[in-house]
Amino acid sequence: MLNLESTALSRAQIVSLNLRQRFRFFNVSAGYGFYSLYGDSDGPFSTPSDNYNLISDWGRRTQPLHQFNATVNSKFYYGVFLTGTMTMNSGSPYNITTGFDDNFDTNFNDRPPGVKRNSGTGSGYLVFNFNIAKAIFFGKGGAATGSGTNLNVFANMTNAFNHTNFGPPSGIMTSSFFGMPTSARDAREIEVGLRFQF
């Protein structure tokens, strides 16, 4: 049985930079975020490693320290539109535990002596997505105004370069997978379709 109370603490230092620039054939927008987030809890239902020493759980949150994203929108000849996005993060922190209930509080989330919460860092994240579309308009004035009955032909490519983005490694020291990722994000996906609008 758990007795939950709102005694957790957190601290956040965030820097956000954004840039937008329009060129002749394309628009570029980019953003960078620096997230220095610390606390002694990972959520409302997380339990401390030591109920009598909450400050021992003070450590990094699971938010990546650096995040960067960029978008490029282009309009080519014959009404062909191309959009490309890139998202990149540094590695996410993860917790390292012994796999035992060393302090006998019935919670198996104890860390080795001297190891802070979320002191491990996983692999970074990098993905490129692309969308290309062409609208074929029917009737007078449709192409000129960009409205009216049209047939939209499009192709979406997610994780276009099929970059492997691993999930967080196992932080349980007694596990045979300790220090190794046990999951990965989605591989490349390609979607091609037609959309009729009227």
Residue range 111-141, pLDDT digits in tens: 999 999 999 999 999 999 999 999 888 766 5
In a domain, 182, yes or no: yes
In a domain, 126, yes or no: yes
pTM listed for this prediction: 0.82
pLDDT value for 96: 95
In a domain, 136, yes or no: yes
CA distance 129 to 122: 23
pLDDT higher than threshold 90 for residue 37: yes
In tens, the pLDDT along 82-98 reads 999 999 999 999 999 99
In a domain, 111, yes or no: yes
Number of domain units in the chain:
1
Structural domain including 130 reads 10-197
Give me the chain's average pLDDT, please.
Answer: 89
In a domain, 90, yes or no: yes
The distance between the two most distant Cα atoms of the chain, rounded to a whole number of Å, is 78
Count of beta carbons in the 10 Å neighbourhood of residue 170? 21
In a domain, 48, yes or no: yes
- Residues counted in the chain: 198
pLDDT value for 77: 82
In a domain, 5, yes or no: no
CA distance 53 to 135: 62
Three-class SS string for the chain? CCCCCCCCCEEEEEEEEEEEEECCCEEEEEEEEEEEEEECCCCCCCCCCCCCCHHHHCEECCCCCEEEEEEEEEECHHHEEEEEEEEEECCCEECCECCCCCCCCCCCCCCCCCCCCCCEECCCEEEEEEEEEEEEECCCCHHHHCCCCEEEEEEEEECCCCCCCECCEECECCCCCECCECCECCCCEEEEEEEEEC
The token pair that represents 124 in the structure block: 């970074």
